[in-house]
Structures are given as C-alpha cells and as structure tokens.
C-alpha cells in the first residue's frame, strides 16, 4: 500500500521549504498574464453598461472604428437585447495603445431605453417589484425545503430558545490581477492564450469548443497568476472577446478587466439573510432549529449557504431561496456558502449558551461530534488564554473593551481523479516534473518539487517543475474546492516512485546488486547490505547512457484524505467612543492532514484568516437602490484588509494524519464567528449584520444604553 | 442639438437617461450629470489635438528616450513603453492594480522615495532617478529585503510583491530599525489580497537586522 512514510523518515515533506517561484516574484521577473508583451500586441477594452437594466435601442460603432490606431471594434450586444446589470458588456475595442482603446470606447454610440430595476434583496422582494428574470415567477426562486426529525417536538423540549436574524452582504473577490487574457493566433487554426485562470485545461476546453478547434490546437499558459479565490475558472466573455479580437486583427491582443469591472462582473460571494429560531435543552443539547433564509447572487442563482452548520441538531427545518437582482452574477468564492453560514451559526450558538448560562466553549463541546475539533477546542483555548475571557459580556471597564470569541468550520478538500503527470530523470542527473495544474499562489509548484526531491534524495530547487501550460497535454483539474494538492500530490508521488524503480532496475545489474538492495540517500544511491557501496546521484544517472527515464503517475486513493476541521479563537478590543474594532489576536487551529510544505501551509492559514477578518469587519458591496450602480467599485471604498488591520495570527498546523488534504479554503471560515462573538463579549451587545463597522457598533451601544 | 450632432458627441445618449431611472425619481437628476460629464471630457481628449513629446528617463541606471503624450503615466512607460529605437521597456514588475493610488502595486522609487507610478505623469519623471523592483537587487545578489521575503514566504500569488518589496526597501532606507507599528505604517499604502502581511512584517524585521 502506497504511503507517505513516517514523519521521522521525511527529509523534506512536512518541513518549511521556501517557494521555487520566490526569486522571480521578489525581483519582478515573474510574468503574469498581465505582463505578457508580444510583438505587435494590441490592447483591448470593453464598453460596459452603466445602468442596471435597459433595452438596447441602437449601437453604432462607426466613429470608434474610424479613430486612428483602432484595429477592431466588436459588438457584444445588439439592438433589441437587454442589459441586466451595471457592467454588462456592450462592445469591445482593440487598439495600438491602451489609451487609444480608452478613447475609442468613448466614441461608441449606444442608445438605451432604461427599464425598472432592483439591486437590493428588499426591493426585489417588495410588492409590485419589476420582474427581472424571464425564466422565474417573480424575483424569488422556488424554495428548497429540508426537514429532519420533529421540529415542534424539539422546541417543546427546549429550555431556552433564541430567535434572530443574521445577515452578511455581498463580498467581491478582489483578485489583484484582474481577470484577463492575451490571445494570439498562428494562422487560422492554432490559438495560444495566456490566461489569468485557476483552470488551464478548463479554459483550453472552453476555447476549443467556442472556436471549433481540436483541443490540441489550443494552448493555454498560466505561469503565474495574481489571485482567483474561486472566480477564475472559465475564459468568460472577456476571454472569448480577446480571442475573437485577435482572430479579426491577426495580432496578439491583451484584454485585462479594469478594477471597476472586476468588482462589477467578475464574480462575488452572494449575500445571506437568515431568520432562525433555535432551542436547547437545560443540559445544553441543541434540540431544535428552524431557519428561513435567502441570498442574492445577482442576476444568477447560486446563493446557497450552510445552515445549520457544523454542530449537530436532531430536529431541523430549513427553507431557503435565491433572490434575483440587477447585479453581476455570483461565482464560487473561497469556501462558498461556509463563512456566512458559520457566522450565523456561531453567533446563534453563543446566544443560546448565554441564555443557558453556559460557557460557549462548553456548549460547543456538547454539540460537536467531531473529535478533531474537540481536541482543537482545548488547544486553541489554551493558546488564546480563554480563562481570561469576560464572564459577563461588556463588563470590562474603560473606553476600550476587550473580548474573546470562538468559531468553527469544516471542509472537504480530499482531491480527486483527473490529473496526469510525468516525471523524467535525464542522464545528466537533471529531473523534470510536468503536469497541467496551475499555481494560483498556494505553492503547488513547490509542493511538487518537494515530493519528487524527497523521492530522489535531491533538493527541491534541483527539480524543474513545469506546470501552468496545456501544451504538454497532461491535464489536471481546476484549482477549486481546496482540491489541488490532494489531487496532484498522489500522481506526482507515484510517478516519481515509478521513475525511481526504473532507475534502480537499470543500474542494479551494473552495480552488481538487486533492486531491492538499493536505497536513496541525500544526493546518493547506496547498497543497503553494504553501505560502503555508495555512488552519487549523477554517477547513477550517468549509467543511463543516452536514454532518459520518463514515468507517469496515477491517482492513489490511499495517499489523500478529505474532511478537515478547524477552530479559531479571537481576541478583540472595541473602542466604545469611536466604534472601531481592533482584532488583537487570532489563534487558528487548522486540521491539515499531511502538510507537504509547512511554510506555505501557514501562509494559507494566515491568508484565510485575513480574508475572513475582511468579511467580518470591512467588506461589503454597496448598491445604490436609486441609480442601480455599485457605489464602491474601487479599492478605496471597497475596503480589504491592509497592514493596520492585521492582528497577531497564530496559525497552528494541526496535522492529524499522514495523508494529503487541501487547506486553501477552510481557514477563512471560523474567523467570522470568532470575531463577532468576541465583539459581543467585549461590549455586551450583539451585532448580527456584517460587516461590523464603527457605525453599527456605536448604534448598538447607544441602543444598549437607551 | 440635432440628432446627428448629439450622436457624435456622447457615447450614451442623453435622451435615454432623462427618461428617468429605475424605481427612484431623484436619480434622474443625478445620473445624467455624471455621464454627460464623462462624455464631454471624452470629446476633449479625442480631438486631434493630442500632442506628444520626446522625453528622457533614467530607469534603473539606464537611459531611455521615449515619445509620450501628456497623459502618459510613468507606470505605462515602464510596462508598455517603446523607446525611440523600437525597443520595449518591458519593466513589468510594477503592476497596475487599482489605477488610482489605492493599492501600492505600482510602487517605484523616484529619487529614493516610494511613489505610485500610476499617479505620476511620465513627463514629471524627467531628470529623476527611477528605480523599479527590477533594479533593487545588485546584479545577481538579492537585496536583504528580497532574501527575507523569500525566506519568510512573504508572498503567495506574488502579484502585490514587487510593490511591497519596493516599499519595504524605502522604509528601511529611512528607518533602520522599525518597530512593528512603524512597519505597518510604512507599508500601509500597499494591499495584498492573499493575506501575506504577517510574514511580510517578519521579513522586514529580518531584513532590518541583516542591514544593520
Ligand atoms: S495601481 Fe497604482 S496605487 Fe494601485
Ligand atoms: S500575494 Fe497575492 S496579492 Fe499579495
């Protein structure tokens, strides 16, 4: 049975290894899609609707076409068609320079007849609201209803009940590299596209269908990419447009979204509103749960969320639906549905615990059947100093009040089939590992090198890892669902093991020994029964003569595992005069399975915590119900965490087993509940609507006083 | 204005906006003002009055002669500029992320001071020493800040990294031994979405010790 071996036997796996791409990234040499300069490159831009809902009456591109330096103008809508949200595409331009493209957009004439619109959930659900999707009845989808046990009986057993409404607004991904592509045709029948994507092969397949080309006549390259968080799986309108413009102009075309468009059309995390009633027994058992909720994913559906979350409830009834609004559609965003679900559930848990007069941690222990998390509760509580927590919320003295809270999360991340990989040993001792995955910042490139280097007794820097390119024809899945490492690692490991076996078979006779008697040491190969017989790696590969060894790997169930539990504790300080919440410390105890690279795993946990912090305290897409436009489609008014917001973060890599699992998404989940509960513990008033901004804190404090 | 004239002067017709907007009534007076403003500005920039000038820039100790428009930013010269000999400048380390001075992704040193290259006109950079992230290392020897960024994994996707590296170098040039608060302050003009901040702080501390 294949295994990763004992921790004590690992030289590299599980250690802190710096990234292979580090040097290129700190020197500015790393080339992202946005940095690709090709001879004869044209720059493209898209004209977008500034209104939320309209019918196109006329579209006239002629003046733009006449502008010197413009090479093509492409309509992306036509008279009679509807535009359903701000940012929807009208036309695109390709020009000699970006400035000329900008000028050309202003010369496009479009006559629109505005239609009534709704951009907030409340407006969409109001009596007499305009219907905005032709395929729905009204603006709500059919509700999904789920019932388990007997909710009424549950409530009759409850000693305490809580009824509350929790809300999280729409959050946008804010990838720092906006969505975009550089497209270049060779003749009529070979398309190369540099794409800022999480799915090199997904983009290749999409483009091959779109342009009716055989899959092997489309090549997609993503050497480095500047963040996706779930929003970059397909080429989208912008990718199709870039390729189309390149085809028309017979020139390479670069089309990157503007920051504004990135907020408007490149995906978002849907909102969530939950009306919950829940009950617990005197001895602290969560016994009944009744939830009605909804969210908006803009013009699309998909506004799901987890409810109830993590904790076990015997009797539950849930009903949820989507609300359509005239806004850009949602896309998967880091642990879709989980952070918002966790915020509501963890808040609810604390509210119930308080009514029971029970420590919220104790209440969780009673209702959480996950053993890993039980151990994490103990560890996390120790780390944060849970005994220092206010027993009476809001009881601290002074202007700045401190509080502590806890939150939990759960994720899958077990990987899956669909990756092909090749490991090659060359006679000169060099090693190559090739597969079609992509590094979206998680460090998979380095993880691949670590696995191969461990197998061969080499250093990770000695492994040439080629990923992010569909050219070699070795597919791998998209980087989503925290599946990348668990999908790729087993295939790389088996490929390397097969190559090592081949190497041993070739050299054993030459060394007058058997394959079974050969071992790998650091940079050497030796005979186990006679340690004096040692030759260097290079001497060994030199024995291959002219022929390299190339082996492919296969998916191995035994090398990976799904299901990761996480717990976080937060300590905050709330300024009761300004309403400002400062997070002092987060302890993140994250189940990681076998962390191939402890250093980059810690980075991912930090990153998840910080994104969760942003969602709790700062981030919100603000739509203006009067104009139908997003009011903060930039990086100043849409606030993501900056240096001042960063607390001390203690990321604890909680490795429970020696199988690989994914950890990109789960650490952003428990943060919300932990911080929200800490704020309550500090000031003694609960804020049930994110983000917890100073105005909400001050209003809550004023209401408490009154 | 005749129908024809109107068509030539605005990209989105006034008529449609004056029809009233959405469910609100107040908006009808607000929105057109914004859009017409846009369109008029556009007109001003798209007559054939755009003029260019040849300027000289000193970037990473190399001289470039480049033809620019008045509106050309320093960042666009670095990334997309082509000099008068037809060579691409191709210094793509600095990134345009927000295009309005909100993120620090385009940070470069101008006479040793960190500035947002998206906010500086190329013409205003004449006669100044410009250092981009590509010019921070000494040949093949990395700057202590760069070494420390790698060591501490102060980067994930790495898109924000050039900006942070340049800002960190600028900070340490000014303040040899910054406290954590001073590091946060010195880097507050830079944004990272992947959330590398804690390791960036560690890296700057390590670099500071190394540079002592
Ligand atoms: S791109 Fe210059 S500050 Fe953001
Ligand atoms: S490392 Fe990705 S944005 Fe900073």
Q: Return the structure tokens found at B2.
A: 């005749």
Residues 6+ apart with CB under 8 A from A635: A174, A259, B97, B98, B100, B102, B103, B191
pLDDT higher than 90, residue A584: yes
Whether residues A426 and A506 share a domain: the answer is yes
User: How far is the C-alpha of A223 from the C-alpha of B76, rounded, in Å?
Assistant: 23
Supply the pLDDT for residue B48.
53
CB contact under 8 A, B71 and A644: no
Note the maximum CA span of chain B: 71
Q: Is the CB of B144 under 6 A from ligand 1?
A: no
Q: In this predicted model, what pLDDT tens digit does every residue of A215-265 receive, in sequence order?
A: 999 999 999 999 999 999 999 999 999 999 999 999 999 999 999 999 999
Nearest beta carbon to residue A627 from set B27, B133, B201: B27
Q: Is A40 domain-assigned?
A: yes
Q: Mind listing the pLDDT tens digit of every residue in chain B (212 residues)?
A: 344 444 443 344 433 433 333 333 333 333 333 333 344 444 444 445 568 999 999 999 999 999 999 999 999 999 999 999 999 999 999 999 999 999 999 999 999 999 999 999 999 999 999 999 999 999 999 999 999 999 999 999 999 999 999 999 999 999 999 999 999 999 999 999 999 999 999 999 999 999 98
Supply the pLDDT for residue A1.
63
Residue B95: which of A196, A437, A442 has the closest Cα?
A: A196
User: How far is the C-alpha of A442 from the C-alpha of A413, rounded, in Å?
Assistant: 14
Q: Is the CB of B166 under 6 A from ligand 1?
A: no
Residues 6+ apart with CB under 8 A from A84: A52, A53, A132, A299, A326
Among B98, B105, B149, B193, residue to substitute to test ligand 2 (most atoms within 8 Å of Cβ): B193
Peptide bond before A419: cis, by omega within 30 degrees of 0?
Answer: no
Q: Do the beta carbons of residue A170 and residue A271 sit within 8 Å?
A: yes
Q: Is A533 domain-assigned?
A: yes
User: Which residues in chain A have their CB less than 8 angstroms from residue B45's CB?
Assistant: 103, 106
Nearest-5° Cα angle at A45, A39 to A51: 175
User: How far is the C-alpha of A187 from the C-alpha of B184, rounded, in Å?
Assistant: 52
pLDDT higher than 60, residue A321: yes
Peptide bond before A184: cis, by omega within 30 degrees of 0?
Answer: no
Domain end call among A222, A256, A290: A256
What mean pLDDT is predicted for residues A177-189? 97
Q: Is A689 helix (H, G, I), strand (E, B) or coil?
A: strand
Q: Which residues line ligand 2 (CB under 6 A)?
A: A 176, 227, 441; B 155-161, 192-194, 196
- ipTM for the complex? 0.97
Q: Return the structure tokens found at A306.
A: 């987890």
Q: Do the beta carbons of residue B167 and residue B114 sit within 8 Å?
A: yes
Among B105, B158, B162, B168, residue to substitute to test ligand 2 (most atoms within 8 Å of Cβ): B158
Angle between helices B197-211 and B161-174 (to 10 degrees): 40
Residues 6+ apart with CB under 8 A from A349: A286, A311, A360, A363, A364, A367, A673
CB contact under 8 A, B46 and A108: no
Centroid of ligand 2 to alpha carbon of A155 (angstroms): 48
Domain that holds residue A594: 279-413+561-705
Domain end call among A559, A582, A600: A559
Q: Residue A577 to residues A23, A697, B121: CA-CA distances in angstroms?
A: 46, 10, 42
Residues 6+ apart with CB under 8 A from B141: none
Q: Is A35 on the interface with B (CB under 8 A)?
A: yes
Q: In this predicted model, what pLDDT tens digit does every residue of A101-130 receive, in sequence order?
A: 999 999 999 999 999 999 999 999 999 999
Nearest beta carbon to residue B46 from set A18, A106, A626: A106
Q: Is A659 domain-assigned?
A: yes
The least confident of A25-29, A393-397, A596-600 is A393-397
Angle between helices B161-174 and B144-151 (to 10 degrees): 130
Q: Do the beta carbons of residue B9 and residue B35 sit within 8 Å?
A: no
Supply the pLDDT for residue B49.
58
Q: Is A337 domain-assigned?
A: yes
Residues 6+ apart with CB under 8 A from A385: none
The least confident of A112-121, A292-301, A484-493, B45-54 is B45-54
pLDDT higher than 50, residue A63: yes
Residues 6+ apart with CB under 8 A from A432: A422, A423, A424, A426, A463, A464, A465, A466
Whether residues A574 and A673 share a domain: the answer is yes
Nearest atom in ligand 1 to B119's CA: 2
Supply the pLDDT for residue A44.
98
In DSSP terms, which residues pair with A110 in a beta bridge?
A59, B12
Counting the structural domains of chain A, the total is 3
Place of tokens 């170098």: B169
Whether residues A73 and A222 share a domain: the answer is yes
Q: Do the beta carbons of residue A554 and residue A661 sit within 8 Å?
A: no
CB contact under 8 A, B153 and A599: yes
Alpha carbon A158 to chain centroid, angstroms:
38
Whether residues A73 and A208 share a domain: the answer is yes
Whether residues A193 and A94 share a domain: the answer is yes
Q: Is A49 domain-assigned?
A: yes
Whether residues A567 and A540 share a domain: the answer is no
Q: Residue A163 to residues A279, A286, A339, A688, B96: CA-CA distances in angstroms?
A: 9, 14, 20, 12, 47
Whether residues A543 and A569 share a domain: the answer is no
CB contact under 8 A, A26 and B188: no
Centroid of ligand 1 to alpha carbon of B113 (angstroms): 16
Distance between A693 CA and the closest CA of chain B, angstroms: 20
Query: Which residues between 111 and 130 in chain B have a beta carbon less than 8 angstroms from any beta carbon of chain A?
Result: none
Supply the pLDDT for residue B4.
42
The least confident of A208-217, A236-245, A409-418 is A409-418
Q: Is A18 on the interface with B (CB under 8 A)?
A: yes
User: Which residues in chain A have their CB less than 8 angstroms from residue B157's CB?
Assistant: 176-177, 224-227, 440-441
Supply the pLDDT for residue B212.
81
Q: Show the beta-strand stretches assigned E in A446-563.
A: 463-466, 518-521, 524-527, 530-536, 549-552
User: How far is the C-alpha of B190 from the C-alpha of B97, rounded, in Å?
Assistant: 11
Element (H, E) at A451: helix A444-456
Q: Is A640 on the interface with B (CB under 8 A)?
A: yes
User: Which residues in chain B have their CB less than 8 angstroms from residue A625's CB?
Assistant: 22-24
Domain end call among A527, A544, A559: A559
Whether residues A519 and A646 share a domain: the answer is no
pLDDT higher than 90, residue A453: yes
What mean pLDDT is predicted for residues A32-41? 97
User: How far is the C-alpha of A511 from the C-alpha of A69, rounded, in Å?
Assistant: 68
Residues 6+ apart with CB under 8 A from A283: A366
Which domains can be identified in chain B, with CATH numbers?
3-46 (no CATH), 52-135 (3.10.20.30), 144-211 (1.10.150.120)
DSSP classification of residue A54:
E
What mean pLDDT is predicted for residues A580-584? 98
pLDDT higher than 80, residue A55: yes
> Taking all residues of chain A, what is their mean pLDDT, rounded to a whole number?
96
Supply the pLDDT for residue A38.
96
Q: Do the beta carbons of residue B178 and residue B208 sit within 8 Å?
A: yes
Q: What share of chain B is helix, strand, coil (3-state, %, to 5)?
A: 45, 15, 40
Query: Which residues between 116 and 135 in chain A have a beta carbon less than 8 angstroms from any beta carbon of chain B?
Result: 116-118, 123, 130
User: How far is the C-alpha of B134 from the C-alpha of B117, rounded, in Å?
Assistant: 14
Q: Is A142 domain-assigned?
A: no
Q: Is A585 on the interface with B (CB under 8 A)?
A: no
Q: Do the beta carbons of residue A1 and residue A558 sit within 8 Å?
A: yes
Q: Do the beta carbons of residue A513 and residue A526 sit within 8 Å?
A: no
Q: What percentage of chain A reaches a pLDDT higher than 70?
A: 100
User: Which residues in chain B have their CB less than 8 angstroms from residue A442's CB?
Assistant: 156
CB contact under 8 A, A109 and B10: yes
Supply the pLDDT for residue B19.
35
Q: Is A441 domain-assigned?
A: yes
Whether residues A216 and A100 share a domain: the answer is yes
Element (H, E) at B107: strand B107-110
Whether residues A325 and A386 share a domain: the answer is yes
Supply the pLDDT for residue A316.
98
Question: Searching chain B, which residue's CA lies closest to the CA of residue A22?
Answer: B150
Q: How confident is the model at residue A513 (pLDDT cuts 50, 70, 90)?
A: very high
Q: Is A542 on the interface with B (CB under 8 A)?
A: no
Whether residues A229 and A356 share a domain: the answer is no
Question: Which CATH number do you get for residue A198?
Answer: 3.30.365.10
Whether residues A530 and A615 share a domain: the answer is no
Query: Which residues between 158 and 187 in chain B have a beta carbon less than 8 angstroms from any beta carbon of chain A?
Result: 158-162, 165, 183-185, 187
């Amino acid at each position: 049975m294949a295994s990763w071996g004992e921790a004590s036997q690992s030289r590299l796996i599980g250690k802190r290894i710096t990234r292979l791409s580090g040097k290129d990234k700190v020197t500015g040499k790393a080339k992202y899609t946005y940095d690709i300069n090709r001879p004869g490159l044209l720059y493209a831009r898209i004209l977008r609707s500034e209104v939320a809902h309209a019918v196109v009456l006329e579209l006239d591109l002629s003046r733009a076409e006449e502008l010197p330096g413009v090479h093509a103008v492409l309509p992306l809508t036509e008279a009679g068609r509807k535009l359903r949200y701000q940012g929807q595409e009208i036309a695109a331009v390709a020009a000699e320079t970006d400035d000329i493209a900008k000028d050309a957009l202003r010369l496009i004439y479009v006559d629109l007849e505005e239609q009534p619109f709704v951009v907030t959930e409340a407006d969409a659900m109001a009596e007499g609201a305009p219907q905005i999707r032709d395929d729905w009845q009204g603006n709500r989808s059919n509700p999904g209803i789920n019932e388990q046990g007997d909710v009424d009986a549950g409530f009759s057993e409850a000693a305490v009940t809580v009824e509350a409404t929790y809300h999280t607004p729409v959050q946008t991904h804010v990838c720092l590299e906006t969505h975009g592509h550089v497209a270049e045709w060779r003749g009529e029948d070979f398309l190369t596209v540099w794409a800022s994507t999480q799915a090199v092969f997904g983009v290749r397949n999409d483009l091959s269908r779109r342009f009716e080309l055989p899959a092997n006549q489309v090549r997609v390259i993503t050497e480095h990419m500047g963040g996706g968080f779930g929003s970059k799986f397909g080429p989208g309108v912008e990718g199709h447009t870039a390729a189309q413009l390149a085809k028309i102009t017979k020139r390479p075309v670069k089309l990157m979204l503007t920051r504004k468009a990135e907020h408007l059309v490149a995906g978002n995390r849907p909102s969530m509103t939950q009306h919950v009633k829940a009950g617990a027994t005197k001895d602290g058992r969560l016994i009944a749960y009744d939830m009605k909720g909804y969210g908006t994913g803009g013009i699309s559906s998909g506004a799901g969320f987890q409810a109830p979350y993590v904790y076990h409830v015997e009797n539950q009834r849930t009903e949820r639906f989507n609300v359509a609004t005239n806004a850009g559609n949602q896309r998967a965003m880091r642990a879709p549905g989980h952070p918002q679900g966790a915020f509501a559930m963890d808040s609810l848990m604390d509210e119930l615990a308080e009514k029971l007069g029970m420590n919220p941690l104790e209440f969780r222990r009673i209702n959480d059947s996950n053993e890993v998390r039980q151990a994490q509760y103990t560890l996390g509580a120790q780390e944060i100093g849970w005994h220092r927590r206010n027993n009476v919320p809001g009881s601290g003295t002074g202007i700045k009040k401190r509080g502590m809270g806890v939150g939990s999360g759960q994720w899958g991340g077990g990987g899956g089939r669909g990756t092909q990989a090749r490991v090659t040993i060359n006679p000169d001792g060099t090693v190559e590992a090739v597969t079609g995955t992509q590094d979206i910042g998680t460090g998979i490139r380095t993880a691949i090198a670590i696995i191969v280097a461990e197998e061969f007794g080499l250093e990770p820097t000695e492994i040439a890892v080629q990923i992010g390119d569909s050219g070699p024809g070795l597919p791998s899945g998209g980087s989503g669902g925290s599946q990348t490492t668990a999908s790729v690692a087993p295939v790389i490991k088996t490929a390397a093991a097969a190559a090592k076996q081949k190497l041993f078979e070739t050299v054993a006779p030459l060394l007058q020994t058997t394959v079974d008697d050969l071992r790998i040491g650091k940079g050497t190969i030796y005979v186990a029964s006679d340690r004096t017989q040692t030759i260097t790696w290079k001497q060994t590969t030199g024995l291959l003569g002219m022929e390299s060894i190339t082996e492919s790997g296969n998916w191995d169930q035994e090398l990976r595992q799904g299901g990761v539990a996480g717990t976080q504790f937060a300590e905050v300080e709330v300024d009761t005069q300004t309403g400002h919440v400062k997070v002092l410390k987060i302890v993140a105890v994250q189940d990681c399975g076998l962390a191939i690279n402890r250093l980059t795993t810690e980075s991912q946990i930090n990153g998840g915590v910080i994104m969760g912090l942003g969602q709790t305290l700062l981030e919100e897409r603000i739509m203006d119900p009067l104009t139908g436009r997003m009011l903060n489609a930039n990086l100043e008014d849409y606030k993501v965490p900056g240096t001042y917001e960063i607390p001390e973060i203690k990321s604890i890599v909680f490795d429970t087993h020696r199988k690989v699992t994914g950890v990109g998404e789960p650490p952003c989940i428990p943060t919300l509940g932990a911080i929200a509960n800490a704020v309550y513990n500090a000031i003694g008033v609960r804020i049930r609507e994110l983000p917890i901004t100073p105005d909400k804190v001050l209003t809550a404090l004023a209401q408490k006083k009154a | 204005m005749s129908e024809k004239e109107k068509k030539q002067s605005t990209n989105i017709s006034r008529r449609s906006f004056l029809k009233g907007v959405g469910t609100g009534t107040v908006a009808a007076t607000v929105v057109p003002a914004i859009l017409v403003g846009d369109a008029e500005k556009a007109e001003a920039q798209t007559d054939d009055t755009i003029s260019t000038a040849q300027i000289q820039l000193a970037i990473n100790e190399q001289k470039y002669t480049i033809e620019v428009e008045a509106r050309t930013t320093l960042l666009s010269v670095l990334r997309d500029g082509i000099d008068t000999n037809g060579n691409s400048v191709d210094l793509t380390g600095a990134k345009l992320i927000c295009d309005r001075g909100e993120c620090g992704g385009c940070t470069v040193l101008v006479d040793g001071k960190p500035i947002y290259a998206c906010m500086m006109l190329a013409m205003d950079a004449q006669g100044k020493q410009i250092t981009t992230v590509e010019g921070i290392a000494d040949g093949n020897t990395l700057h202590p800040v760069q070494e420390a960024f790698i060591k501490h994994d102060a980067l994930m996707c790495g898109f924000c990294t050039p900006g942070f590296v340049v800002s960190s170098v600028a900070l340490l040039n000014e303040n040899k031994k910054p406290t954590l608060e001073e590091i946060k302050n010195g880097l507050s003009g830079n944004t990272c979405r992947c959330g590398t901040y804690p390791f960036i702080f560690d890296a700057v501390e390590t670099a500071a010790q190394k540079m002592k």
